[in-house]
Structure 1
Amino acid sequence: MANVKVNVEYCGACGHQKQFLEMANLIKQIVPQAEISGIVGRQGSYEVSIDDKLVHSKLQTMAFPDFAEVSDIVKDVSNGMPIRNVDKHQPINCILM
């Protein structure tokens, strides 16, 4: 299994650290050797990169990635498969007034 690096830029003001920690825990359960790092970044951000390739951007999609799919991608990459983008997103729970 290859070593995989997952980097997440998330908005600290929005409270996205909670989602980062949830996703990091899920990845670690599936790929214990993955190196996961998170940094507080731009407002509204939740940008996920695997081995320096952006695979999901909340700034572009306005949604969080499906954490299970991110974990599956990390597992596939650790097994030598190519990096692919996240296709599934979590439902957006927002109310417009």
Structure 2
Amino acid sequence: MVKVDVEYCPKCNFEWQCKMLQNFLHQQQPDAEVVCSKGRQGSFEVKIDDTLVHSKLQSFAFPDHDSVLENVRRADKGQPVEKVKEQPIDNCALM
């Protein structure tokens, strides 16, 4: 069984982001264990089987859910996991 640990910032209200990722992974990979844990300020850190694959503290972005799923499937096959892609950041400009 693949274990996904997500550390999220409760002060930043990132719990809902963790729950969205958790629900997505459970729908696509029901046998994966996904744990959401309160953590450091500004954090949204994703580990797959104890390997850090995403850090919002470093990237300032949330992980792409499909990329996380791809890594969960890799880990399930015994393959090494890789850094996940980031969600695109919307840049808004006022004219």
TM-score, normalised with respect to structure 1: 0.88
Determine the structure 1 residue equivalent to 2:87: 90
Determine the structure 1 residue equivalent to 2:65: 67
State the Cα distance separating 1:93 from its structure 2 match: 4.2
- The separation in 2 between residues aligned to 1:58 and 1:70, in whole angstroms, is 14
- The separation in 2 between residues aligned to 1:61 and 1:4, in whole angstroms, is 24
How many equivalent residue pairs? 93
Aligned residues of 1:12 and 1:40 also touching (Cα < 8 A): yes
SS at match of 2:10: coil
Q: Which amino acid aligns with 2:15?
A: Q
Aligned residues of 1:6 and 1:34 also touching (Cα < 8 A): yes
**Percentage identity across paired residues of the two chains:** 48
- The separation in 2 between residues aligned to 1:84 and 1:90, in whole angstroms, is 16
CA-to-aligned-CA distance 1:25-81 (integer Å, 9 cap, x gap): 111111111111111111100000000010000000000010111011101211222
Unmatched 5+ stretches in structure 2: none
Superposed CA RMSD in Å reads 1.6
Aligned residues of 1:48 and 1:57 also touching (Cα < 8 A): yes
Q: Which amino acid aligns with 1:90?
A: Q
State the Cα distance separating 1:92 from its structure 2 match: 2.6
